[in-house]
Amino acid sequence: MERKGNLMTYRPDIKVFDATVRDGGLVNNFFFTDEFVKALYIANLRAGVDYMEMGYLADKDIFNPEEFGDWKFCRDEAIRRIVGNNDTDMKLSVMADVGRANLQRDLLPKEESVLDMVRVATYINTMPAAIEMIEYAHKLGYETTCNIMAISKANTPDIEEALALLAKSPVDAVYIVDSYGALFPEQIQQLASLYVETMEKAGKRVGIHAHNNQQMAFANTVEACSMGASFLDATVGSMGRGAGNCAMELLLGFLKNPKYNLTPILDFYEHYILGLKESGLKWGYDIQYLLTGKMNLHPSSAIAFTKEDRRDYVDFYHQLFDLEP
């Protein structure tokens, strides 16, 4: 497939998607202050960010609300504390995990809600449940995406089948999600070609959500973009689970559309992200994440290694061989 655009131009179909609160919330159980979320909302608005994800729409029957901040559940009244009616051009999104959300009970009809988009996160083997959720959210009036997680573990014929199902669904965009930070640009290129080819025919978009285990989150995002992906996920300071995400500051520094502005993000980093780091929250590239990424494993063991302040990388590496499927 041909690359789309080049380094001197920009494509108007590109949407920058801020996932700082949602993926970053996995680092601090979503205990962000309202001041933090509001400052991020304003920084995103000034930076020209197209979508901001407010968090998860998690089921309170499954997750104890006392153990998590508001952004795990994203009830409308919490979001309105930050954004009022969001009378802006930036759209707001929420993520719903298959099996961990109750849309029928918790998702308001679009006209009563301040949210614009529901992103359904699924593994490839729960695609029918994901499509049911997408259809429901679509019927309520929302834009929808399907975020197929851990794609580095999926078999290509299964991916093709999933994409065929999604092409027939009302979903607006389908994401490549490299949950394990295992993929290299060459693989992203192949996946993005496959996604774009299938989805373009159905009038749908493709997105990319990358993790930084092997310092490839930004490179993979640029690669997917170059192959035609439109929705580009990023988080300020790479904040996110484990090795973190594609950094918003790198992405906005790269994109050529003059509507994007790096300065408000630098300002937010300086005044809010540095503070989280100093408070002891840990995320971002490190050797243990490289190792799980390289071995195409869930980062949970590397996250535990980090929490325990371990530094025995050699032992950890050899323990990982026992986890290999």
Report the C-alpha gap between 285 and 309 in whole angstroms.
Answer: 15
Which position has the token pair 């996110």?
A: 240
Buried-exposed string 125-156: b where 16+ CB fall within 10 A, e elsewhere: ebbeebbebbebbbebebbbbbbbbbbbbbee
Rounded to whole angstroms, the Cα distance separating 268 from 111 reads 31
Binding mask 143-182 for a second copy (x = CB under 8 A): ----------------------------------------
Residues 100-119 that bind a second copy (CB under 8 A): none
Q: Is 212 in the site for a second copy (CB under 8 A)?
A: yes
Could you tell me which stretch among 112-120, 134-142, 154-162, 213-221 binds a second copy (CB under 8 A)? Answer: 213-221
Site for a second copy in 228-257 (CB under 8 A): 247, 249-250, 253-254
Does position 20 bind a second copy by CB under 8 A?
Answer: no
Instruction: Tell me the C-alpha distance between 26 and 22, whole Å.
Output: 7
The three-state (H, E, C) secondary structure of 194-248, written as one string:
HHHHHHHHCCCEEEEECECCCCCHHHHHHHHHHCCCCEEEEEHHHCCCCCCECEH
Give, as ranges, the residues between 278 and 297 that touch a second copy (CB under 8 A): 287, 290-291, 294
Q: Which position among 60, 129, 184, 281 is part of the footprint of a second copy (CB under 8 A)?
A: 184
The residue from 10, 31, 136, 313 that contacts a second copy (CB under 8 A) is 313
Amino acid found at 219: A
Applying CB under 8 A, which of residues 226, 235, 245, 292 lies at the interface with a second copy? 226
Give yes or no for a contact between 107 and 65, defined as CB atoms under 8 angstroms apart.
no
d(CA 245, CA 132): 28
Q: Give 236: exposed, middle or buried? Use CB within 10 Å, 0-12, 13-18, 19+.
A: buried
* Euclidean distance between CA atoms 312 and 294, whole angstroms: 17
Q: How far is the CB of 19 from a second copy (least distance, A)?
A: 17
Choose, by CB under 8 A, the member of 62, 274, 304, 323 that binds a second copy: 274
Minimum distance, C-beta of residue 20 to a second copy, in the bound complex (Å): 15
Size of the site for a second copy (CB under 8 A): 39
Q: Which of 88, 102, 187, 296 binds a second copy (CB under 8 A)?
A: 187
Q: Which of 13-21, 68-76, 160-168, 268-276 is the region at the interface with a second copy (rule: CB under 8 A)?
A: 268-276
Q: Give the span between the Cα atoms of 241 and 229, in whole angstroms.
A: 23
Q: Between 82 and 247, whose beta carbon lies closer to a second copy?
A: 247
Listed residue (125, 129, 72) closest to 98, CA to CA = 129
Chain contacts with a second copy (rule: CB under 8 A): 3, 6-7, 184-187, 212, 214-219, 222-223, 226, 247, 249-250, 253-254, 262-263, 266-267, 269-270, 274, 287, 290-291, 294, 311-314, 317-318
